[in-house]
Structure 1
Amino acid sequence: MAKHKQWSRARLPVVAGAVCATILALSGPAAAQASATAEEEHAATLAALKRFQAAAGPGAAVHAGNGDGSWTLSVGTGTVNSTRPIKSDEHFRVGSQTKTFTAAVLLQLVDEGKVSLDAMIDDYLPGVVSGNGYDGTRITVRHLLQHTSGLAAYNPYPVTQAPKPSPDGTYDLAASVRKGLNSPPVSAPGAGFTYSNTNYLVLGMLIEKVTGQKVHQAVTDRVITPLGLERTVFPAPGDRTLPAPAVNGYHGARLGGLYFWTPALSYDPSLYSSAGAVISTLEDLTTFYRAITSGEVFSSASLAEMERVWKAEPGGDGGVGLGIGKFKLSCDTVAWGHNGGVPGYLTQTLVTKDGRHASVVTNTLFQLNTPTKQLAELLDTALCKDAPKRY
């Protein structure tokens, strides 16, 4: 394995700004005054966070800042029937932000000459992507990383859509890939974009084949541990534990001012594996994406490949790179990151090259009426209005 520069994890000062009178009262007058000041300093983001949470889960939080420091705001609760703000160091399931971790390992393997982005997946995994109209001799590693392979959209949850589990309740990557290939191609390779978890399940198989490690171990050894992400976990199959402290995830529905929450159903992390199994925190996700975009995880050449986007919208400056997205902000700035959604959680992290960052979590995932507009507004506000560029 080629050696990559290690990211030195600096713990930036955090100003907790929870919108919670109970917490403020328990913390004493001085802490209450400090929290009130944080809310005043970031009033625009606080207002956007409240609008997001009103359409999202029981609680929501944003951890944001620039190269000079970070701050956290929280509304609602991380645990139903209590008053407990979500904190920046609490664990939650990040969903498809896992894909950036998986892409990072693949790009390290490219640096080491073990994988080529433009090689056909059949060169590494003969016969795996085949049948039902699929041809792995025409689909490249780049196609899979960028969701331009033509593989049909696939979400293994609920479990009725998943492959049959092993006797121990875990899911085999190859079986998950076969299940995802049950639907025929949606386009020729390279001809269109279709977001599909199957792309990243195949890439998980590729990592295992090339490294000789299980994908959760490869990501841990190559990315999580070197970056010092002490509260980030790619759980092994069978490990359903959400480490403490944790943000509790919920299923629920909203109808006007009425809402109902039930604890999110448990599932084995191998159900999502290299497409969505990682557990992390707002702080660790910030550190991870800042390391990625600073070129600390793989070579500058591979970073340039990651940031080559698929067909930005006309007149826009966004698009989809290799395991990362490009977003044009209202303040004429480009941000990079990924979102994620799994049962119990909706998340997204964005960072800019000048040090600004914002990571958001809410503790439910709606299948319908997902508050994507409010989430985008919240991130844009945090990055453009309340985390200005340093001069």
Structure 2
Amino acid sequence: MHRKHLIAAVLLAATTTGALAPVAAARPSDPVQRQLDLLVERDGVPGALVHGGGRTRTAGVSDMVTGHHMIGAQGRFRLAGNTKAFTAAAVMRLVADGLMGLDDRAGTYVPQLAGRAVTVRQLLKQTSGLPEYVSLVDWSRAGTPQEYLALALGAEPAFEPGADWGYSDTNYLVLGMVIDRASGVGFRTYVERTILRPLHLDDTYWPAPGESVLRGPHARNYGVNPALPEAGVVDVTKLPGYEFGASGGLVSTPGDLNAFWNGLFGGRLLPAWALRLMTRDTTDVGGRDVYPAGSRYGYGVASVPLSCGGVYWGHGGDLPGDSVAGGRATGGRGTVTVYTTTWAGGGESLGHVQGAVDAALCAGGGRG
């Protein structure tokens, strides 16, 4: 779908879901709950959740037809852009094992990029200049990574490699193809072997080809289906998850995502020097995309300042049917995941999502 049509569809979702959402009772004494209630009452988010420190807070409903309470920490959801952190960790595992180098040309592993001066490091840092493929895809039919990359390569580069920063799912689409070649087993299998199994993330999985439903307990998701934007806001719980691939395809739970952040930043996946590169070789992205002032983007992870001092490290992800934010804070303040059942990646809703993360971590609600 053309980029401007995709943007219009997302804006439509953000402005029309308010008419459908239930009203939650305000609990002003709890700053975390207050942010969740604002998401439901003011922003029209059907359901929202904060999980950290062994505690789960919710607002709204998990199903707008039945009116059931919002699902808890056991619920599955699509990680969307948070998948990039798993992909980046897998790339750094290959680098640590000497199977590839950060300054290798991506064309060494991906023939479609032969002759282009794009490196693995630039893909990780979102500084390659490769244009976004998502807005060019016809989501009414399945495609291959090679087909999606061809769409991006047919468009004008956003900038010369290394000259600027620009968030693009194409970077991580390519990194999945790089892992395929360097590991010899495919990026999904490699992530399972090196990240999911070692951290015992038993509720996290890659959807199978053709699989559009979520396994296990989950909330319903609502938004504009990119394959049928003319239908307006609909139930988008079913989506082509397999096609989202290395840039956004994983499905997880709040507990598993928190365990991933703790495992990654706790040094259980990578040697210390590799983790330092991920978090110190960074770009100032404050005020760009969804990032507030003072944010920095590293290798598939970003730091966001906290109002109480320090930062938290994580990522974030948005689809027409959900938004996910959070990560692990410095200073021992813990780890938290925020999840909404519709797109909440802009305007006041984005502020309330980020506010929920900040309130939980600054109150110590992510510890434990």
TM-score normalised by L of structure 1:
0.78
Residues 109 and 286 of structure 1: CA distance in aligned 2, closer, same or farther (over 3 Å) = same
Richer in helix (by share)? 2
Q: Answer yes or no: is the 8 Å Cα contact 1:162–1:271 preserved in 2.
A: no
Between the aligned partners of 2:268 and 2:316, the Cα distance in structure 1 is 21
Aligned twin of 1:310: 283
Alpha-carbon contact 1:170-1:270 (below 8 Å) kept: no
Runs of 5+ in structure 2 lacking a partner?
1-22, 225-231
1:320 match: 297
* Per-residue deviation, residues 63-100 of structure 1 (Å, max 9, x unmatched): 023xxxx2110000111131322201100111010101
2:147 matches 1:162? no
Post-superposition CA distance 1:191-242 (Å, at most 9, x none): 1111001100000101111112232222112211221011111123222230
The one-letter code of the counterpart of 2:105 is: M
- The Cα shift of 1:317 comes to 4.4
Shift, 1:368, TM fit: 6.6
Task: Identify which range, 112-121 or 368-377, moves more after superposition.
Answer: 368-377
Instruction: Say whether residues 1:241 and 2:244 are aligned partners.
Output: no
Equivalent residue, structure 2, for 1:292: 264
CA 355–295 in structure 1, closer or farther in 2 if over 3 Å, else same: farther
Counterpart for residue 16 of structure 2: none
Q: 1:317 to 1:164 in 2, by over 3 A?
A: closer
Equivalent residues of 1:171, 1:237 under 8 A apart: no
SS in 1 for 2:88: helix
1:171 touches 1:270 (CA, 8 Å); kept in 2?
no
Q: Which residue does the alignment assign to 2:124?
A: 145
C-alpha distance 370-208 of structure 1, shift in aligned 2 (>3 A): farther
Residues 1:236 and 1:388: Cα distance change in structure 2 (over 3 Å): closer
State the distance in 1 between where 2:343 and 2:207 align: 21
Contact 2:333 2:366 in 1 (8 A): no
Counterparts of 1:264-275 in structure 2, within 5 Å, are: 264=236, 266-275=238-247
Measure, in 2, the Cα distance between the counterparts of 1:335 and 1:71: 19
> How far apart, in 1, do the equivalents of 2:300 and 2:357 lie?
19
Q: 1-side partners of 2:208 and 2:195: how far apart?
A: 15
CA deviation profile, 1:258-306 (whole Å, cap 9, x unmatched): xx95211633223210010100111110000111111111111110111
Counterpart position of 2:197: 225
Could you tell me how far apart the structure 2 residues matched to 1:55 and 1:183 are?
35
2:361 is equivalent to residue 383 of structure 1: yes
Aligned to 2:161: 189
**CA distances 1:38-57 after superposition (whole Å, capped 9, x unpaired):** x79x7111112111233152
Distance 1:352 1:46, change over 3 A: same
Output the CA distance in 1 between the equivalents of 2:351 and 2:139: 36
Q: What is the identity, as a one-letter code, of the residue corresponding to 1:51?
A: L
Secondary structure of 2:257's match?
Answer: helix
CA distance in structure 1 between the partners assigned to 2:44 and 2:253 by the alignment: 19
Residue 38 of structure 2: aligned partner: 51
Aligned partner letter, 1:229: L
Deviations 1:13-48 (A, max 9, x none): xxxxxx989xxxxxxxxxxxxxxxxx79x7111112
Partner of 1:110: 95
* Alignment correspondent of 2:59: 75
Report if the CA contact (8 A) 1:20-1:83 is conserved.
no
Counterpart amino acid of residue 58 in structure 2:
S
Question: Is residue 341 from structure 1 mapped to residue 332 from structure 2 by the alignment?
Answer: no
Report if the CA contact (8 A) 2:59-2:70 is conserved.
yes
Does the C-alpha gap of structure 1 residues 316 and 162 become closer, same or farther in structure 2, counting only changes over 3 Å? closer
State the superposition RMSD in angstroms: 2.8
Partner SS for 2:112: coil
Return the letter of the residue paired with 2:43. Answer: A
Q: Which has the larger radius of gyration?
A: 1
CA deviation vs aligned residue, 1:177-203 (integer Å, no higher than 9, x gap) = 111222211111111111001100000
Question: What is the one-letter code of the residue matched to 1:226?
Answer: P
Kindly indicate whether the alpha-carbon contact (under 8 Å) linking 1:44 and 1:386 is maintained by their aligned counterparts in 2. no
- Deviation at residue 349 of structure 1 after TM alignment: 2.1
Between the aligned partners of 1:110 and 1:328, the Cα distance in structure 2 is 29
**Identity between Structure 1 and Structure 2 (%):** 28
- Give aligned pairs, total: 332
CA contact (8 A) 1:320 1:326 kept: yes
The TM-score normalised by the length of structure 2 is: 0.83
Distance of 2:366 and 2:207 partners within structure 1 = 36
User: How many Å separate the matches in 2 of 1:375 and 1:357?
Assistant: 15
Residue by residue, what CA displacement relative to the aligned partner does 1:119-139 show, whole Å, maximum 9, x if unpaired?
A: 2112222x4226xxxx52x21
User: Structure 1 residues 164, 313: closer, same or farther in 2, change over 3 A?
Assistant: closer
The 8 Å contact of residues 356 and 389 in structure 1, kept in 2 or not, is answered as yes
Q: Does 1:208 align with 2:186?
A: no
Letter in 2 for 1:333: G
